[in-house]
Amino acid sequence: MPSLQDFFTNKVVVISGAASGIGAGLAHCFASLGCNLALCDIDTEALAEVADTITKQHPTTQLHIETIDVSRKAAWQSFLCNAASQLNHIDIMINNAGIEGSCQPVWATDDDVLHKVMDVNFYGMVYGSKVALPYLVKRPWAALVNVSSIFGLLAPPNTADYCASKFAIRGYTESLRAELAQIHPQVQVQLVHPGGINTNITRLPQSQKFKERFLTEEPSAIALHIAKSIMHNKARIIFGNQAGRTSLASRILPLKWLSKLLAKEIDGLDMKEDYTVDHDGFSLPKDSDKKTD
CA distance linking residue 185 with residue 179, whole number of Å: 9
CA 17, CA 46: separation in Å to the nearest integer? 10
The residue type of 142 is: A
Catalytic positions: 162
| Strand spans (E) along 148-212 | 187-194
The total number of residues written for the chain in this structure: 293
Residues 6+ away with beta carbon under 8 Å from 92 = 11, 12, 13, 14, 30, 35, 142, 143, 144, 145, 230
**Closest of 69, 119, 70, 96 to residue 194, by C-alpha:** 96
Between the alpha carbon of residue 77 and those of residues 63, 116, 265, the distances in Å are 18, 20, 41
